[in-house]
Structure 1
């Protein structure tokens, strides 16, 4: 038997169930990119809102690429299990806020119709950094991106998240329907402003009048989201199904911690998110910098160097004392001076909590998973604080070691000569650079530093940066990641 509405009442008493009539909840949110993170984060907050009686804020989730989520959850009436993992065990909860599932490539009309529905007042997104078809170094739309070119040629069958947003907004404008609020939940710098710039530019390319309307009428609040969500394994599915007594084909695993900071700007209304733990603020930027630089920057550094050192998971990496010291010193000495504390925040306590979360042995967060799409992540996670440190004339040795770890990783071959499965929009360019450079650290660094979409034009021209990165990369080739990290923290 599968998890479904009909099987809810038969679940064990220790499994938390939706506190509302799931079948009668009304859709008020369309979500683009319905993957594990959305289902462990925003969908949970909305499930809590529905439980408070705000029954008009259920979700229509859309996959922009794969039908996997729809195929797994449609037979389950959209229900799935949230397993919260800690040292004391796994707490299971059934989430019911995901009321409809669409697969965009197979039926773009259905998604556009859903986004054009006057009852939908918010469109949320978790499509990863690369899903916005922008230049990570500048935050502007990549007009030459083949999918953007295709969206301009055939706007009624978009391929991209910006294409769907623009076409749906154009339809609402033509129908006299107020625009939805666009709520980006991805790790982009100033994510609301960045998505507004990308969507507004694409709208203007289609029709200057539409571009002006988007700029003047559509709200793009910024957000900061935080929750660690490892990929679900077959063992996870078996554990959940055994506990439930019915099969759940796609549960999600997560940690107890969750945070959602949102700029409170919703012209057509919003759910009572402040009543379920979200923080509604005037300015998200301090929270964003704190998270992107302290959490994501150190997470990426651990992922690249930990993978190279032979560690499968972040917790396994943190079990090695040198990596613990690396994270502590990276955060305290080089990153914290670039992070103004948000109102009421205790940065020292925040960093201690981060390190405890990274070391949580119950979460098998793979270094390889975090290492994906590094070209889209480096600019905000490591290069932004590097720029601030250089402007202050301050050292960047540990931040540069993180960048060098990324360079060694994307070379495509590990320390034992085995191939690395590099997943990145620029993977082919990395392969070409690595092929030309061979096992020469300086040539590899020069080739990668020439990729303007990642490094811009300023950093490759600054010898303080290039020198530090090349020295760290040479150490990784000469000694390996584990020894290089031990040497970096020995002083």
Structure 2
């Protein structure tokens, strides 16, 4: 079987317009993929120089001339998608550790327009260091050194500024990176002229990326795919069909990032808060409110959750009836509610993707912080808008409290236990910074006494240090959670869920406050 390279898979060579820090699968499965698509349509006509910031060789990229395959598998508009794309946007990969001078030489290219990065969330942090090291250690210092090299080479020319788009998964990633670069520049005394050029001619854009890219498939699947494709590809990666890259920018940014014109998954807007809020509430929030309930049923993956008739109904209903209606209309572009409903339909397709193994237990990591950030605002908005309690979210919240019930502690890890509908016992780690807090509170609860459970829930809801708000003021919420929790503890998870679904079929969503 032949290897994938430009000899047996000819591809156009374009000017190097993008510098990319990071070789990870997210960058290759989203920005690089999108730039390749634009090149294929004759729009952007630019290639990407990739910087490998960490140690390790770049041989695999060199052997394949930067080519690799993205296999997109999953559901889209309810239809099964299974297609592959050979991405040819990468021109070369340079190791920062082994050839930092070659990285700095890219700064001298007149064709360069864009810098993108994904150095993980910890990559965008300030480290007080010299940018004149070979190379600097932190990503912001490397970026500052590169920008300073470009400034010097072009004499601070205004038309040689760049658009910098970090994709690290933190809020306001562009603004935070800009602030750090400015601080590093001051520490290294790079001068007022550079600071002025940095301020007016280098545009740092906040961005949001959303695509599940599991990466390289397992050995068996990899072999099957290569057999089907007819060539070997050591860099082959898997991705879901859905994709979104929302970038905060004005007309100047649009004029540079012309690849955005070729794919509806790329959005450039002066305010991307809607896209961030939509993802946080609908995608992340529905995960957080549903997963403890599904896991306590004995399910292991998101796909299994969506195959379970009761859980699938629960997830669909909590998204449709309790999460989607709470996004503020003023936040929605052109006040178009379809933008949220269409995204919700995409989310359900993504959850049902049979090709992605998303473990429920992994999603429960730091469940308390996630519940606070993702779902409490939704619960509060629902009560304000409807003067009702969102009963599905109340059940999900109760299941979260049940999930946080540890039975013992071993070597600093708190362990929970649950009985599955088939009678089996599952033991699981509670990987949450508040595990000890919950363990101590649960010690005081008689699970067979409804009043004891109610006192437990009331104490939790009133803990403003934990929630940064007082949930006890949401009239009826604590009572609804306590009722659901008592049922989970005495009737079991499946019977409680069955009762809830049956009740939802005969009544409208929520119960009136009074």
Report deviation, 1:46.
0.6
Find the counterpart in structure 2 of residue 29 from structure 1.
Answer: 18
Q: Is the 8 A contact 2:303 2:357 kept in 1?
A: yes
Q: String of CA shifts for 1:434-481, please: whole Å, max 9, x gaps.
A: 4676475489x99xx9xxxxx988716665599699969977995787
Going from structure 1 to structure 2, the CA distance change for 1:358 and 1:282 (only over 3 Å counts) comes to same
Quick one: distance in 1 between partners of 2:493 and 2:123?
Answer: 31
Report deviation, 1:306.
4.2
Q: Is the 8 A contact 1:315 1:361 kept in 2?
A: yes
TM-score by length of 1: 0.72
Q: Which of the residues 118, 128, 131 maps onto 1:152?
A: 128
Tell which structure's C-alpha radius of gyration is larger.
Answer: 2
User: Are 1:169 and 2:147 counterparts?
Assistant: yes
TM-score by length of 2: 0.69
Going from structure 1 to structure 2, the CA distance change for 1:214 and 1:254 (only over 3 Å counts) comes to same
Quick one: distance in 2 between partners of 1:345 and 1:164?
Answer: 43
Q: Which of the residues 281, 284, 290 maps onto 1:296?
A: 284
User: Are 1:41 and 2:30 counterparts?
Assistant: yes
Q: String of CA shifts for 1:95-145, please: whole Å, max 9, x gaps.
A: 111222244456555545546755332112334444434xxxxxxxxxxxx
The number of residues matched between the two structures is 449
Q: Is the 8 A contact 2:61 2:92 kept in 1?
A: no
Report deviation, 1:58.
1.3
Find the counterpart in structure 2 of residue 241 from structure 1.
Answer: 226
Q: Secondary structure at the match of 2:233?
A: coil
Report deviation, 1:255.
2.8
Find the counterpart in structure 2 of residue 219 from structure 1.
Answer: 203
Quick one: distance in 2 between partners of 1:312 and 1:66?
Answer: 35
Q: Greater RCO between the two (CA within 8 Å, min separation 6)?
A: 1
Report deviation, 1:396.
6.6
User: Where is the strand percentage greater, Structure 1 or Structure 2?
Assistant: 2
Q: String of CA shifts for 1:337-395, please: whole Å, max 9, x gaps.
A: 44233335513333223212311223334445656687997676445546756887875
Q: Which of the residues 112, 116, 128 maps onto 1:124?
A: 116
Report deviation, 1:165.
2.9
Find the counterpart in structure 2 of residue 459 from structure 1.
Answer: 468
Q: Is the 8 A contact 1:47 1:96 kept in 2?
A: yes
Comparing 235-244 and 186-195, the one that deviates more: 186-195
Find the counterpart in structure 1 of residue 261 from structure 2.
Answer: 274
Going from structure 1 to structure 2, the CA distance change for 1:467 and 1:345 (only over 3 Å counts) comes to closer
Going from structure 1 to structure 2, the CA distance change for 1:174 and 1:348 (only over 3 Å counts) comes to same
Quick one: distance in 2 between partners of 1:303 and 1:216?
Answer: 46
Report deviation, 1:183.
1.3
Q: Is the 8 A contact 2:71 2:238 kept in 1?
A: yes
Quick one: distance in 2 between partners of 1:108 and 1:476?
Answer: 62
Quick one: distance in 1 between partners of 2:25 and 2:7?
Answer: 23
Q: Is the 8 A contact 2:302 2:360 kept in 1?
A: yes
User: Are 1:182 and 2:164 counterparts?
Assistant: yes
Find the counterpart in structure 1 of residue 308 from structure 2.
Answer: 320
Going from structure 1 to structure 2, the CA distance change for 1:200 and 1:457 (only over 3 Å counts) comes to farther
